[in-house]
Chains A and B, each alone.
Chain A
Amino acid sequence: MSANAQDVRELVKNRSYGAGFVTDIAADTLPPGLDENVIRALSARKKEPDWLLEFRLKAYRRWLTMREPRWAHLRYPAIDYQSISYYSAPKSMAKRPKSLDEVDPKLLETYTKLGIPLKEQEMLAGVAVDVVFDSVSVATTFKKKLAEAGVIFCPISEAVQEYPELVRRYLGSVVPFGDNFFAALNSAVFTDGSFVYIPKGVRCPMELSTYFRINERNTGQFERTLIIAEAGSHVSYLEGCTAPQRDENQLHAAVVELVALDEAEIKYSTVQNWYPGDENGVGGIYNFVTKRGDCRGRRSKIAWTQVETGSAITWKYPSCILRGDESVGEFYSVALTHHHQQADTGTKMIHVGKNTRSTIVSKGIAAGFGQQSYRGLVRVLESADNARNYTQCDSLLIGDRCGAHTFPYTEIRNPTAIVEHEATTSRISDEQLFYARTRGIGEEDAVSMIVNGFCKQVFKELPMEFAVEAQKLLQVSLEGAVG
């Protein structure tokens, strides 16, 4: 290949994954490998209380007895857990900065490049942001304004120090430390993430958002998020994720726990754009995530909305336990796999309380050699009189080398339940593209128009500005999908 062609290739690549750069920054990184000493070292670096170290060690010991799940419709080589570093933090973060002015300018620049200028954000947009870089949280904006409303929004490592009783009470109460292989691993080695507490009756005055960034080579990211919404409170939270472009695969295994008490409402949105690997399937993030919400109180509501365009492998089932009577669970998902990406994603709705309702809308898009699986469980327990579920599960194929699969499971133990399931599979046809082109609309624009139409139902659940972002992301992710 000539130098020129190489340049063009690079340009195209970079355009496709704009977040693929590396920040050159001195880091304090633990050597690769995992044993109890690593966990003790990590816990010591974070000056954690004994109960937390115990939690980690219990999880680690359980993890040693567990096996990586292999039931998903995913193919990837075995992960070597001893080759991963379990802690990495920019050196400048050794002393936690008190304000943005103290944060290393190189870090701030990283987020500006990613389109999240923290300073301007603080002044302009009404969104509070917590930013996690590898294993640590580097900045949280709007803290004061939130504090006035009584809202706590801070890195979970800070919450451990400042609000230990809250963290201790709720951590692991939705996703127990031995829940599954990846949750156990996360419980043992989780580093940072966000903590949110909304007091009784408070409507959080702004959107909360966390931005996760993997930077160091060979590090895993194991973030942990805990959101507690007290009775009658309301919060909307959004997470975004990116990582540099690298040839090797990197592991990301997060745990998110949500607790909604009586009449509380949590809206949790994700725009996941981890590096997906290149067009030949080299590199990319392995994304194994456990997200679960507990509608503990009556008439509480938890809504998950996700737009998953990144990662080489996605294994993720944001779920709701509808414990409180009349509680409501919702799951809206767009997942896109292009080139050699694989996604096995869906949800679980567990109906426990009476008159509980759940809605599932899943939109899977596969292009190139992408593999797309929806896996969803609707379980209605004996106690759940008059439970209702509606599931809609649509797949859109672009080209004929990709695949879409659906694995719906239902377990109904109460005869009053009404469960509906609809599924469709369609393909963007050459006739449709030709039709659009004869009207002047170019092929890629036509594809993205059709894809946006397909995803409309989910996008309208996202906060406005993120819906626009999500549309752009899909468009970029589908570059080269036709023609």
Chain B
Amino acid sequence: MLEIENLHARAGDTAILKGLNLTVNAGEVHAVMGPNGSGKSTLSKIIAGSEDYIVTDGRIRFEGRDLLTLPPEERAAAGIFLGFQYPVEIPGVSNMVFLRAAVNAQRKHRGEPELEAADFLAWVRHRVKQMKMDPAMLSRGVNEGFSGGEKKRNEILQMLVLEPKLMVLDETDSGLDIDALKIVAEGINALRSPARATLLVTHYQRLLDHVQPDHVHVLSGGRIVKSGGPDLARELEEKGYGWLDAA
């Protein structure tokens, strides 16, 4: 589904990704771990289409299409979703208006008719309930005044409403208490299917206890330096990242 080959990228004069390779197949969950500043958020945002980074070499394909030439909104319509590490606030635009604009924009792009207002409302309510959120949040501004944890939960709500094919979740577990973590994990699992794939960026085993990964990768110095199964994550939790440099 997602094939990243020899990806090099920089921001300004700083080289961040230096030859990254990663293949994610439909139905799989991949975890990406790695020290702070290793380029995890950079990778996530480049997949989503950020213009803050310049790709100097390599390529990314999504379902066989060249992704790098597509603007972010077309990537979204193609089925890519990024759960941000730091979701922004958009004061004045309610979550409801935002979600509706997003759903209808994606539908339009795919040549589908807009959802009827009532159908849309029912659909969103269903997802809000699933995330155990207060429906009153729908009339509040997007992430406006939300706590860190609420913002992360809102990312998953948006994901559940949009039902993407590829879910890239950048440290969605950070800042969540135990209960919220469980709800978020259930949200992610709800979308797990043979037709979808997930890329989980995380520092902690505790999310992976709830969302079992098929593959675990270590990103360091702008490259995947080690890949393995679920055991690798537990090993990292125990030993940290230092031993990898030595290896």
Listed stretches B47-55, B121-129, B192-200; interface member: B47-55
Contact assessment for A449 and B97 in the assembled complex, using a CB-CB cutoff below 8 Å: yes
Stretch at the interface among A200-208, A227-235, A349-357, A438-446: A438-446
A-side interface size class:
20 to 34
Contact A437 B90 (CB under 8 A): no
Instruction: From known contacts A442-B105, A449-B98, infer whether A435 and B84 are also in contact, taking CB-CB under 8 Å.
Output: yes
- Report Cα–Cα, A443/B52, bound state, in Å: 15
Most central of A429, A442, A450 by chain B CB within 10 Å? A442
* B49 near A453: Cβ-Cβ < 8 Å: no
Check A440 against B162 for contact (C-beta < 8 Å).
yes
CB contacts (< 8 Å) of A170 on chain B: these are none
The size bracket of the interface on B is 20 to 34
| Contact in complex: B71, A437 (CB < 8 Å) | yes
Interface of A is mostly: helix
Q: In the bound complex, do residue B50 and residue A439 qualify as a contact, i.e. CB atoms below 8 Å apart?
A: no
A81 on interface, CB distance cutoff 8 Å: no
Given A437-B76, A445-B105, A450 and B158 contact (CB-CB distance below 8 Å): no
Contacts A438-B72, A440-B77 given; indicate if A432 touches B109 (C-beta within 8 A): no
Complex partner residue of B92 from A431, A434, A454, CB under 8 angstroms? A454
Q: Within the complex, which residue of A429, A431, A439 is in contact with B162, where a contact is CB–CB below 8 Å?
A: A439
- Shortest distance from the beta carbon of B86 to any chain A beta carbon, whole Å: 9
**Residue A456 is within 8 A (CB to CB) of chain B in the complex:** yes
A434 to B109 Cα, complex, angstroms = 18
> B93 contacts A453, CB within 8 Å?
yes
Is A436's CB within 8 Å of the partner chain B?
yes
Which residues B202-219 have CB closer than 8 A to chain A? none
Q: Which residues of B contact A441 (CB under 8 A)?
A: 73, 98, 101-102, 105
> Most chain-A CB neighbours within 10 Å: which of B48, B82, B105?
B105
Q: Which A298-337 residues sit within 8 Å CB-CB of chain B?
A: none
Task: List residues 95-147 of chain B with CB under 8 A from any CB of chain A.
Answer: 97-98, 101-103, 105-106, 109, 141
When distances are taken between beta carbons in the complex, the residues of chain B under 8 Å from A445 are 101, 105
**Residues of A close to B84: CB separation below 8 A:** 435
Residue B88 lies at the interface, judged by CB distance under 8 Å to chain A: yes
> Is residue A121 within 8 Å, beta carbon to beta carbon, of the partner chain?
no
Residues of B within 8 A of A432 (CB): 88, 90
Taking a contact as CB atoms under 8 Å apart, the answer to whether B98 and A439 are in contact is: yes
Q: Do residues B73 and A437 form an inter-chain contact, with CB atoms below 8 A?
A: yes
Contact check, B81 vs A438: say whether CB atoms are below 8 A apart. yes
Whether the pair B72, A449 counts as a contact (CB closer than 8 A) is no
| B38 at interface by CB-CB < 8 Å | no
- Output the residue of B72, B80, B97, B98 with the most chain A CB within 10 A: B72
Cα A431 to Cα B89 in complex, Å, equals 9
Q: Give complex CA distance A454, B91 in Å.
A: 8
Q: Are A435 and B88 in contact, CB atoms less than 8 angstroms apart? A: yes
| Distance of A319 Cα from B78 Cα, bound (Å) | 52
A426 within 8 A of B: yes
Given the complex of chains A and B, what is the CA–CA distance between A430 and B50 in angstroms?
A: 10
Whole-angstrom CA separation of A450 from B51 in the bound complex:
20
A450 to B141 Cα, complex, angstroms = 10
The answer to whether B87 has its CB under 8 Å from any CB of chain A is yes
Give which listed residue, B72, B77, B92, contacts A453 with CB less than 8 A: B92
In whole angstroms, what is the CA distance A55 to B213 when docked?
86
Indicate whether A453 sits within 8 Å of B90 (C-beta atoms), given known contacts A438-B72, A439-B102: yes
Q: Which 5 A-B pairs have the closest CB atoms?
A: A453-B92, A440-B76, A437-B72, A439-B102, A453-B93
